[in-house]
Amino acid sequence: MKVAKDLVAASATPMVLGILAEEDSYGYAILRRINELSGGELDWTEGLLYPLLHRLERLGHVESSWRSVAGERRRKYYRITRGGLAELAEQRRQWDTVVGALKEIWPDRPQPLTTFPRGGFA
């Protein structure tokens, strides 16, 4: 299954802020975490992630710093700020509203494709 670009874009900010709320992280580790959380369904690229991280940094939602780990190259780590935590809380409220509405209109079990609600689509 391929997730639509619009849905990926809409969920990008809360996903990255949520990951950074767990712990500070660097780009490649964030990409791996997204892939892991989605069971491989969200295969983000650096071209999606880094512009988002830079935008979040400009907005004051994340801060970055270069760190060196023994035996490894320097990496730019990102951490969520207080403003980022507030933005994450707001994003969560909005997503809870969207998910709640979808749960109301989607049945618990998938309907066969031949069944049309209220006579529509036939």
pLDDT surpassing 60 at residue 14: yes
- The confidence band for 38, taking pLDDT boundaries of 50, 70 and 90, is very high
Taking the C-alpha atoms of residue 87 and residue 90, their distance in angstroms, rounded to an integer, is 5
**Beta-sheet strands, E only, within the chain:** 25-26, 62-67, 75-80
Q: Name the residue ranges covered by the structural domains of the chain.
A: 5-107
Query: Looking at residue 121, what is its pLDDT?
Result: 57
| Average pLDDT of span 95-109 | 92
Taking the C-alpha atoms of residue 4 and residue 2, their distance in angstroms, rounded to an integer, is 6
| Mean of all residue pLDDT scores within the chain | 91
Residue 78's beta-bridge partner residues? Answer: 25, 64
Question: Model's pTM, two decimal places?
Answer: 0.85
For residue 78, which of 96, 90, 60, 100 has the smallest C-alpha distance? Answer: 60
Right CATH number for 5-107 from 1.10.10.10, 1.10.1200.10, 3.40.640.10, 2.60.40.10?
1.10.10.10
| Average pLDDT of span 39-60 | 96
10 or 2, higher pLDDT: 10
